[in-house]
Each structure stands twice: as C-alpha cells, then as structure tokens.
Structure 1
Amino acid sequence: MTGLWQLGRFSEPALLILISLAESAKHGYAMQEDIAALTGERPGPGTLYGAIRRLEEHRLIEQLPDEDRRKPYRLTDLGAQALQAELLRIRTMASTGLRRLATA
C-alpha cells in the first residue's frame, strides 16, 4: 500500500485533500474551500494541483467526468485505506506525545 510519506513534502497537502474527499467528491476550488475551513489556510493552486497529480499517480484519488469546466475527484478504495492508516498513525503519535507531556 502507498503511504503518504512517499509523497515527500506534499504529504500534508495530500492528507488534507484525502480528508476533504472522504466526505464527498469535489473539484479543486471546493477542496480549497473545504481545506480552508478545516485548517484556516487555503492552499494555493500550485500546491493543490501538484498534490492532486501525485495522488492520482499513486491511484489514491481518481478524476470523475468533467462537470462543465470543473474536474471533480473522488477517493479510491486504496486512497481510503491509505487515509485510514495515516490517521491512525497520527492518532498514535499524538496520543504518545500528549501522554509524555503530561508526565514531564
């Protein structure tokens, strides 16, 4: 299975895109808005579309038929598995960090 770590410096934008698409299929602008609502920061088009391209290459997302001029994307089964694995990894890491802070 593809891990998001394989995307290098694009791993955080990729994670945010996968989280956005976990709810429903979206086109780029809708993803930008959803990510901005989640994080308080709107990814720029270069960051967003670079991460989308890499996610497509790894078959974690796929493009759906165009809607007018918009290109919607959806999460693949492989993408859902990768997202779940990454979120569990982050939860374990955060849990350990918080526990260590509490005993410091």
Structure 2
Amino acid sequence: MPIGRMREPTYFILAALQDEPRHGYAIMTRAEELSRGLVKLATGTLYAALDRLTGEGYLRVVNEEIVNGRARRYYALTDEGRAALVAEAERMAAAARVVTRFRGATA
C-alpha cells in the first residue's frame, strides 16, 4: 500500500525511527533535529500521525511502559514503513538531481 508523496512531517517522523524505536517525545525531538528545526511537531499532531501511520501499517508499537503514571509507547518502523521512507528519499533525491546536475552550467 504505497503512501504516495509524503508530507514533510510524515517523512521526518518515519526518519526519526529509522535507527531505533522511540517514544513520542523522542520522536518529536529527533524529527526536529533531523529537519534542522524545520519540522516542529505539536503533541496532538504527532499522536494523530502516529495513530494514522500505525493504522496504515508503517509503524508498530514495540513496547509500552508506565512513566510517572502515564503510558509511554515506543514505536518502530515496519518493513512497509522503511520501504515507504526509502522510496520517498529516492523520489526527493531524483527531483533534486534535476536541478543540481545543472549547477555548473551557464546560460
């Protein structure tokens, strides 16, 4: 089930999980770090996206613990999520090459 062209927040949420499972706050901070501050996720936006991406099969909950009386869920990429992330990265790289290959050319 292809996700199509991803919005930036979705891309960076998935990218934040490419190396290890993380909980919500860690996903928010890693996505902001990876995007160099361009993606700043509000809590409600993040959890709606996590629910959607889990429902679509791109993420799965791998652990849940109680911290200070609250449930903390850890999310990881599924194989489908990793494939969608790689496909989007390749799509963006191909689009960038359209411009960057002409960088040294003169008009």
Counting only pairs closer than 5 Å after superposition, residues 37-76 of structure 1 correspond to structure 2 as: 37-39=33-35, 40=37, 41-68=39-66, 69-76=71-78
The one-letter code of the counterpart of 1:64 is V
Aligned residues: 100
1:58 shift after superposition: 1.0
Structure number with the higher strand fraction is 2
| Counterpart check, 1:15 vs 2:17 | no
How far apart are the structure 1 equivalents of 2:88 and 2:60? Answer: 19
State the identity %.
34
Q: Over the residues paired in the alignment, what is the CA RMSD in angstroms?
A: 1.7
Name the TM-score, length of structure 1 as normaliser: 0.84
1:102 shift after superposition: 4.4
Q: Tell me the SS of whatever aligns to 2:64.
A: coil
Instruction: Kindly name which structure, 1 or 2, has the bigger radius of gyration based on alpha carbons.
Output: 2
Partner of 1:2: 2
The one-letter code of the counterpart of 2:82 is A
Structure number with the higher helix fraction is 1
Q: Conserved in 2, the CA contact under 8 Å of 1:3 and 1:86? A: no
Name the TM-score, length of structure 2 as normaliser: 0.82
Q: Which runs of 4+ in 1 moved over 6 A?
A: none
Unaligned residue ranges in structure 2 (runs of 5+): none
Unaligned residue ranges in structure 1 (runs of 5+): none
How far apart are the structure 2 equivalents of 1:4 and 1:15? Answer: 11
| C-alpha distance after superposition, 1:13-52 (max 9, x if no partner) | 1110110100100010000111121221431112211211
Partner of 2:100: 98
